[in-house]
């Protein structure tokens, strides 16, 4: 239990930081569940100590609190802890990058000793992977590991590198929950107990700490197998739990997503057929129909809509000259029931918004690999969505296992955008130079984030426009030199060299 009754949201929110009331409630409810677990606490990324104060409030006498930050402000941290009545004893300050922790800590002595670890540090893929390896050496059998900025388009590598680590080290951790841009991991044997708690007493405990509550989803198999997703409480869904991912409230494409699609279609510079897998009420279909060329075909599939009804929707949307063609069978039957030779490299856009169970998602992506053209785009809905965590998990796994099929070149507003590997320079050049202008033409405005690696090597994040960061932002949200890309597009030097060498 907390060391002091002063550990309230009012006091926590007075400490500078970005730790939200939703995460505050989740942390307290999970820390309550750890009541019988003894161990130390490790946090990477402290700033002024807002989340640190919550952890300090749950420490028992003798438990150490390891605090790592690039420039640790010990005075601010002590002040934060005192403001909630938490003890400042047994603090272990570690000022400097997390890369130096292995040389500064006695990891052999710390083995299995950390009952709670929070990673909110550098936010690059290499660093996250290294910090996960550190966590694997020290996390308690009943410990909880929290990854910040998970499912965040500002830092895509936080998600992709975490998923890759889990896939490569299945005996190290299990992802048991995704909530409010944080991932919650534990040792595999502990997962079933935690998920049983989330399904049972957790919602009431969460409400007791101030937040109204959360709507809880699961989308990847049984409770003991797939991760739980949490979002802010939704009246239409209720609490504590909501279906198996199929009972989510209608998630129509937002105005930002529609503008993003139009801008990407402008930058595609390619004709070809279009597939809309999961037409729902026809909103996405109408947009794609309006982008068709004279010889292009619109293919549609949805288990609950007829072509006649869809034609009515298109006419209502002002699209009168397009006649959609129904895709036969279900997603896993596409390859066997369609003429793949006629479709080979002919499809310019495939939207996937249905059949999100792992095998069906993979089957549709395999079909896409057979038909997508050189500059075609695959748009996958519910990516980085806490309502359907399995979509992100299975998509990242597919990309890792099929590196010559597609690359993730952008993510934004719960959509993933994939392209052929050889088209990556074209699309990332476009994201750096022309995308923002095209987005504005279509009524959208966004900040583009690129936080790891060179422009032609990693996914771009698209988020709501941020006045501080501007239209394009670099590592850790600081304005970056990327604006000079307009004078010399990324990849152009390599392409000139290839032409000069004749290959």
Say if 199 falls within a structural domain.
Answer: yes
What's the burial of 470, exposed, middle or buried (CB within 10 Å: 0-12/13-18/19+)?
middle
Pair (204, 332) in one structural domain: no
Say if 233 falls within a structural domain.
Answer: no
Segment 74-86 shows an average pLDDT of 94
What's the burial of 497, exposed, middle or buried (CB within 10 Å: 0-12/13-18/19+)?
exposed
Q: CA 185 to CA 203: how far, in whole Å?
A: 19
Pair (310, 178) in one structural domain: no
Q: CA 47 to CA 148: how far, in whole Å?
A: 14
pLDDT for 252: 62
Q: Rounded to 5 degrees, what angle do the CA atoms 402, 405, 410 make?
A: 100
Is 165 within 8 Å of 136 (Cβ atoms)?
A: no
pLDDT for 489: 39
Distances (CA, A) of 222 to 68, 211, 282: 37, 27, 31
Pair (329, 430) in one structural domain: yes
SS3 59: coil
Pair (204, 283) in one structural domain: no
Distances (CA, A) of 370 to 292, 347, 350: 21, 9, 12
* Domain C-terminal end among 157, 181, 210: 210
Pair (153, 285) in one structural domain: no
Q: What are phi and psi of 314, to 5 degrees?
A: -65, -40
Residue 278 CB: number of other CB atoms within 10 A? 21
Torsion of CA 127, 128, 134, 139, to 10 degrees: 160
Q: CA 203 to CA 215: how far, in whole Å?
A: 9
Residue 8 has pLDDT above 70, yes or no: yes
Q: CA 146 to CA 126: how far, in whole Å?
A: 17
Is 298 within 8 Å of 292 (Cβ atoms)?
A: yes
Going by DSSP bridges, is the β-strand pair 273-277/347-352 parallel, antiparallel, or unpaired?
Answer: parallel
Per-residue pLDDT reduced to its tens digit, 96-154: 989 889 889 999 999 999 999 999 988 777 888 999 999 999 999 999 999 999 998 88
Residue 180 has pLDDT above 50, yes or no: yes
Pair (206, 300) in one structural domain: no
Segment 64-89 shows an average pLDDT of 94
Helices (H) and strands (E) in the chain, counts: 19, 20
Query: For residue 234, what are its two tokens?
Result: 């939704």
Say if 236 falls within a structural domain.
Answer: no
Segment 466-474 shows an average pLDDT of 78
Say if 232 falls within a structural domain.
Answer: no
pLDDT for 92: 95
Pair (25, 143) in one structural domain: yes
Q: What is the DSSP string of 160-214?
A: HHHHHHHHH-TTT-EEEEEETTEEEEE-HHHHHHHHHHHHTTHHHHHHHTSS--E
pLDDT band at 304 (very low <50, low <70, confident <90, very high): confident
Per-residue pLDDT reduced to its tens digit, 473-485: 764 344 333 333 3
Instruction: Using alpha carbons, select from 452, 446, 486, 491 the residue that is nearest to residue 469.
Output: 446
Residue 245 has pLDDT above 70, yes or no: no
Say if 44 falls within a structural domain.
Answer: yes
Instruction: Give strand pairing partners of 500.
Output: none
pLDDT band at 260 (very low <50, low <70, confident <90, very high): very high
Say if 246 falls within a structural domain.
Answer: no
Segment 317-340 shows an average pLDDT of 82
pLDDT band at 307 (very low <50, low <70, confident <90, very high): confident
**Domain hosting residue 269, numbered range:** 255-501
Pair (477, 330) in one structural domain: yes
Segment 72-78 shows an average pLDDT of 94
Is 473 within 8 Å of 480 (Cβ atoms)?
A: yes
Say if 248 falls within a structural domain.
Answer: no
Residues 6+ apart with CB under 8 A from 420: 372, 374, 375, 376, 406, 407
SS3 337: helix
Is 408 within 8 Å of 418 (Cβ atoms)?
A: yes
Per-residue pLDDT reduced to its tens digit, 345-396: 899 999 998 766 667 788 899 999 999 999 999 999 989 988 888 889 889 9
Say if 225 falls within a structural domain.
Answer: no
Pair (192, 265) in one structural domain: no
* Domain C-terminal end among 210, 236, 271: 210
Segment 288-310 shows an average pLDDT of 84
Residues 6+ apart with CB under 8 A from 374: 270, 345, 420, 422, 423
Query: For residue 252, how many C-alpha atoms fall within 13 Å in the half-sphere facing its CB?
Result: 7
pLDDT for 87: 92
Going by DSSP bridges, is the β-strand pair 174-179/182-186 parallel, antiparallel, or unpaired?
Answer: antiparallel
Any idea what the CATH number is for the domain that residue 298 is in?
3.40.50.150
Instruction: Give strand pairing partners of 33.
Output: none
Q: What are phi and psi of 157, to 5 degrees?
A: -65, -25
Total number of domains in the chain = 2
Handedness of CA 158, 160, 164, 167 (dihedral sign): positive
Q: CA 292 to CA 280: how far, in whole Å?
A: 19
Is 241 within 8 Å of 228 (Cβ atoms)?
A: no
Pair (259, 406) in one structural domain: yes
Per-residue pLDDT reduced to its tens digit, 270-294: 789 999 998 876 788 888 988 888 8
Instruction: Using alpha carbons, select from 249, 251, 298 the residue that is nearest to residue 271.
Output: 298
Residues 6+ apart with CB under 8 A from 182: 23, 26, 146, 147, 148, 149, 150
End-to-end CA distance of the chain: 66
Pair (152, 265) in one structural domain: no
Distances (CA, A) of 338 to 272, 288, 334, 343: 16, 21, 6, 8
Pair (471, 332) in one structural domain: yes
Query: For residue 257, what are its two tokens?
Result: 């997503």
Segment 165-176 shows an average pLDDT of 92
pLDDT band at 1 (very low <50, low <70, confident <90, very high): very low
Instruction: Using alpha carbons, select from 17, 22, 19, 60 the residue that is nearest to residue 41.
Output: 60
Residue 397 CB: number of other CB atoms within 10 A? 17
pLDDT for 247: 37
Is 154 within 8 Å of 411 (Cβ atoms)?
A: no
Going by DSSP bridges, is the β-strand pair 139-148/460-464 parallel, antiparallel, or unpaired?
Answer: unpaired
Q: Strands of 65-69's sheet, edge to edge?
A: 91-95, 65-69, 40-44, 114-119, 139-148, 182-186, 174-179, 228-232, 214-218, 241-242
């Amino acid at each position: 239990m907390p060391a002091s009754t002063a550990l309230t949201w009012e006091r926590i929110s007075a400490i500078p930081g970005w730790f939200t009331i939703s995460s505050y409630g989740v942390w307290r409810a999970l820390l309550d569940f750890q009541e019988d677990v003894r161990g130390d606490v490790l946090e990477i990324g402290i700033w002024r100590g807002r989340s640190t104060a919550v952890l300090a409030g749950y420490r028992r006498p003798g438990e150490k609190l390891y605090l790592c930050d690039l420039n640790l402000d010990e005075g601010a941290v002590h002040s934060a802890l005192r403001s909630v009545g938490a003890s400042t004893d047994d603090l272990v300050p570690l000022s400097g990058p997390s890369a130096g922790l292995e040389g500064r800590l006695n990891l052999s002595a710390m083995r299995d000793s950390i009952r709670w670890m929070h990673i909110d540090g550098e936010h690059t893929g290499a660093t996250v992977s290294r910090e996960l390896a550190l966590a694997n050496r020290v996390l308690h059998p009943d410990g909880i590991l929290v990854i910040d900025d998970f499912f965040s388009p500002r830092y895509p590598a936080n998600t992709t590198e975490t998923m890759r680590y889990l896939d490569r080290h299945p005996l190290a951790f299990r992802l048991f929950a995704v909530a409010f841009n944080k991932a919650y991991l534990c040792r595999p044997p502990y997962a079933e107990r935690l998920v049983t708690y989330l399904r049972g007493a957790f919602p009431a405990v969460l409400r007791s700490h101030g937040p109204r509550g959360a709507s809880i989803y699961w989308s990847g198999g049984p409770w003991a197998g797939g991760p739980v997703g949490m979002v802010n409480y939704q009246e239409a869904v209720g609490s504590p739990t909501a279906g198996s991912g199929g009972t989510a409230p209608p998630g129509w494409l937002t105005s930002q997503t529609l503008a993003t699609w139009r801008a990407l279609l402008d930058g595609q510079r390619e004709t070809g057929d279009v597939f809309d897998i999961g037409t729902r009420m026809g909103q996405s279909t109408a947009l794609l129909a309006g982008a068709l060329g004279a010889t292009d075909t619109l293919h549609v599939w949805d288990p609950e809509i007829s072509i006649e009804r869809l034609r009515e929707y298109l006419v209502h949307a002002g699209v009168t000259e397009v006649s959609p063609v129904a895709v036969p069978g279900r997603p896993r039957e596409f390859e066997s029931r369609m003429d793949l030779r006629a479709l080979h490299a002919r499809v310019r856009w495939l939207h996937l918004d249905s059949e999100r169970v792992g095998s069906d998602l993979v089957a549709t992506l395999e079909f896409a690999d057979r038909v997508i053209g050189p500059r075609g785009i695959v748009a996958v809905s519910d990516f980085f969505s806490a309502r359907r965590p399995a979509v992100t998990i299975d998509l990242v796994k597919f990309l890792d296992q099929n590196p010559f099929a597609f690359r993730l070149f952008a993510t934004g507003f719960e959509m993933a955008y994939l392209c052929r590997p050889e088209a990556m320079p074209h699309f990332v050049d476009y994201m750096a130079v022309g995308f923002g202008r095209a987005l504005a033409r279509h009524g959208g405005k966004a900040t583009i984030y690129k936080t790891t690696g060179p422009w032609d090597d990693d996914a771009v994040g698209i988020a709501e426009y941020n006045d501080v960061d501007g239209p394009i932002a670099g590592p850790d949200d600081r304005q970056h030199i990327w604006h000079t890309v307009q004078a010399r597009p990324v990849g152009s030097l390599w392409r000139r060299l290839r032409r000069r060498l004749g290959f």
